[in-house]
Amino acid sequence: MMSSYELGTRLSSGVIPAATRTRPSDWPVHSSSVLGDEELRQCLARVGEARQALLSVDTIGSIVADLHTLLASRRVLLLGVLFGSDPLIAAEFPPTDSPLDLDVFDRWFQLCWVAEAAWRSVTGELTDPDFAPGDRELLHSLAARLRFHVLSEPMRFRAARVNQWLPAEDISGYGTHGVIGQVFGEDGWNLLVGRCREARRAWLACLNGYQSHPLLATAQPGELEAELSWLVFARRHGGAPLAFSVQPLEQPAALTAEDHAVIEDTTDRHLLPRFRLLGVAGLALHADGSPGRIARGVVASITVLAVAAAVAFAATLHLHAATLVAVLCYLLIGVGSLTFGAFWTAPWLLRLPAACALGLAVLMTLPPHWWQTPRIGFAAGLGLTGAAFGYLVVEARNHGVGCGAALGRSLAIAGVGAVHGLLVSLVGLVAVAPAFIDKGDELAALWRAPAGYGQAGMILLLSTCWCLAVGVFSQILWDDRPVTSRLAHLHWRSE
C-alpha cells in the first residue's frame, strides 16, 4: 500500500540514520530480535480482537499498558523499537480471522500501540537495571519522533481522492471515522486527534533544541530538513500543510489555532533561517477554502508582475514609470498584509527593504559628486554584490543548510534583496531625494532626461548594489535573527 510504504520510508529516514550511526556495529542484530520476541508478538496479536470487537478505551489502554511494562523492563526491546521500528510494517505477525483485507489497518494499530508504549516508557519509569542513567533523556527525542510519525500518518491523506484510510461501505460498521477511529478504543477519534497534537508538540520541542540532543545533533542538513518538512506539510516536498482536525477524514478541514502556531513557529525558527523561501511562500499562500487561496494567489501574482514591470522599466531607463510601479509593489504588499494577515508577508522578506532604506539614507548624505559624475562602477557593484552573496552563503551554512542548497538558496535571497534594493533606490532617488539633498534640481533633471547607462543607469546600479549590501550586512544589528526574519520583534508564545 502506498501510505504504508511512505510511512516505512519515513520511519527509517530523516534523523534515524544519524541516530543509528551512534550505535555499535551489531545493532541490526538486536533490532531484528525484537520482531521475534514472543511477549511482544502476543500483545500485538490482539489487534484483530481490538478491531473486530470495537474494544473500549479502557481495554485498549490495558493493551498499551502491557506493552509499556514490557518495553520499560526490557532495554533491548525499547532500543529495537526506537532505532528500528520500520521492520514492524512488513513483519508477519499472527494472522487475524477478519473476513476483510484490513492488513494495513492492523499494522498501523500495532505501530500506534508500540509508539504509545515507547513514549510512556521514556516519560515514565524504566525498570530494567540495564538502562543507563541518561537513557531516558537520550531516547526521549526518538520516542517523540516515532509517536508523531505513526499517529499522524492517516492525517496526511485528508480529503485525498485515493485514500485507503477513508471508511468504505463494507466497513461502515466501524463508525463515522472508520477503522482508524477505533485505534485507542471505540469512538476514540478524539483521542487519536488529541494525541496527534500532543505528539507534534513534543517532536517540535525536540527539533527546536536538536543541538542539545546527542542523537539529533549529528544529523546531516538534508536529514533534519526532511523532518521539518514532515512536521508542517502533509507531503515532504510541500503543498498543503498538515492539519489535525476532529472533522471526518474525508472532509477538508480548516487549520486550527494550534496548526497555525506550529506552522509559524517552525517557519520562524527553521524554514526562514534556512532560506526555504518556496516552502514559506506555499504556507503563506494557503488558506482555508478555495476563495481564500485564489485571492492570495491573485494578489501575489499581481505583485510579482508589478515587480517584473518595475525591473523592465528601470532596465530601459523609463525611470518615472519604474518608480510608480515600485510604489505600487509595496502598496500591494501592504494590502496583502492588511487583508490576509502578517504571515502573508513572510516570503517578501520585508527586513531587506527596511534596511535598504537606511542604506539609501546614508547614501543621500554623501557629497553629490558621486552621482553628478559617476565613475564606471561595475567593479564596485560587483564587489558589493559578491560580499553580500558571500555573507548569505556563510549565514545559510551556519544555520545548517547543505553546501549545494546554501549556494542556490543564497542566490535566491540575494536576488530578492537586489530587487528590493532597486525598488527602494527608484523610490528614494527619483521621488524623495530631489526634495531633500543639495542640488536636488539637478538630480531631478537627470531622471527626466536620463543620460544613458553612463550616468543615470550607473547611479541606479551603484545604489542598488549599495542597498543590497547594507540590507544584508545590517543583520548584525539584530544578531539573534537571520536576515530573512519576518518584520516582527515580539512573540506571545510560551517557551
Q: pTM of the entire structure? A: 0.89
Q: Is residue 448 helix, strand or coil? A: helix
Please state, in angstroms and rounded to a whole number, the distance separating the CA atoms of residues 435 and 70.
Answer: 79
Note down pLDDT in tens along the chain; length 495 residues: 445 557 888 888 889 888 888 876 656 655 666 666 777 777 777 776 666 666 778 888 888 998 999 999 988 888 888 887 555 655 544 444 443 345 677 788 888 999 999 999 999 888 889 888 888 999 999 999 999 999 999 898 887 776 667 655 545 555 567 778 888 887 788 999 999 999 999 999 999 999 999 999 999 999 999 999 999 998 766 678 999 999 888 888 899 999 999 999 999 999 999 999 999 999 999 988 888 999 999 999 999 999 999 999 999 999 999 999 999 999 999 999 999 998 999 999 999 999 999 999 999 888 888 888 777 778 899 999 999 999 999 999 999 999 999 999 999 999 999 999 999 999 999 999 998 888 888 888 888 877 677 788 889 999 999 999 999 999 888 877 899 999 877 777 766
Please state, in angstroms and rounded to a whole number, the distance separating the CA atoms of residues 117 and 69.
Answer: 8
C-alpha cell at 158: 485528508
Place of cell 538486536: 30
**CB 237 within 8 Å of CB 231:** no
Please state, in angstroms and rounded to a whole number, the distance separating the CA atoms of residues 113 and 66.
Answer: 10
Please state, in angstroms and rounded to a whole number, the distance separating the CA atoms of residues 14 and 327.
Answer: 44
Please state, in angstroms and rounded to a whole number, the distance separating the CA atoms of residues 342 and 334.
Answer: 10
Domain coordinates in residue numbering, the chain: 2-271, 290-478
CB crowding 383-418: b at 16 or more within 10 Å, else e: ebbeebbebbbebbbebbbbeebbbebbeebbebbb
